[in-house]
Amino acid sequence: EAQVTQNPRYLITVTGKKLTVTCSQNMNHEYMSWYRQDPGLGLRQIYYSMNVEVTDKGDVPEGYKVSRKEKRNFPLILESPSPNQTSLYFCATRYNEKLFFGSGTQLSVL
Amino acid sequence: QKEVEQNSGPLSVPEGAIASLNCTYSDRVSQSFFWYRQYSGKSPELIMSIYSNGDKEDGRFTAQLNKASQYVSLLIRDSQPSDSATYLCAGGLYNFNKFYFGSGTKLNVKP
């Protein structure tokens, strides 16, 4: 089954403790991206990667890092999480114009 | 001004009625637009895309684009309770490398 897999589904952490949210896809798509979703603000793009060689910032990259060492994986790294990064995070791939989203990671930073 | 704006709702319609969802966009957004449906606790899924001025129909769904007014809409005919969800409007640019999403409109279809 074609899918985008994120882990973990839920994560509670404390301010300053480094964490990584993993994203893996089995659809062989070149493009991958990370979004955060907040009430009243909708989905906002954090980073995107056109392929393993090209990664670029979205609209809200501050406080986040990404890595694209291989096509199938695109982890999101929070080096020093803060409470304002509490959000619902989605990883997505794209084929033509269509985005395929993972099931989401609900992150709470205390 | 946000790149893509939507009324957050909720929009309530009776079963069988037409639901009309609207979205406006700024000059920053290109002329490619998308409607995603998001059920509570789930991830968004694409239901319609539209690139040209006018209407595009797919089953019970019709997307409308008016470039002069910078306005996109989604009509759902014969609304069903299973259509109850949040509908996200999105604009794409840079060869679809970047997307701007509205905050979503919550639709409730009452039996």
Amino acid at A4: V
Res. B2 pLDDT band, cuts 50 70 90: confident
Does B96 contact A103 at a Cβ distance shorter than 8 Å?
no
- Percent of chain A at pLDDT above 90? 92
pLDDT at B25 > cutoff 80: yes
Res. B93 pLDDT band, cuts 50 70 90: confident
Residue for token pair 């991206």: A33
Dihedral sign (CA A33, A34, A39, A41): negative
Does B96 contact A96 at a Cβ distance shorter than 8 Å?
yes
Per-residue pLDDT tens digits for A10-61: 999 999 999 999 999 999 999 999 999 999 889 999 999 999 999 999 999 9
CA distance B88 to A101: 13
DSSP code of residue B56: E
Q: Cβ distance A17 to A70 under 8 Å?
A: no
Contacts of B76 (CB under 8 A, 6+ apart): B18, B19, B21, B60, B61, B83, B107
pLDDT of residue B29: 84
Please state the rounded mean pLDDT for residues B79-88: 97
Q: How far is B38 from chain A (nearest CA, A)?
A: 11
Query: DSSP E strands: which ranges in chain B?
Result: 4-6, 11-14, 19-25, 32-38, 45-50, 54-58, 61-66, 71-76, 85-93, 98-101, 105-110
Q: Which residues of B touch A104 (CB under 8 A)?
A: 43
Q: Which residues of B touch A42 (CB under 8 A)?
A: 4, 6, 88, 101-104
Please state the rounded mean pLDDT for residues B86-102: 89
Q: Cβ distance A94 to B96 under 8 Å?
A: yes
pLDDT of residue A37: 97
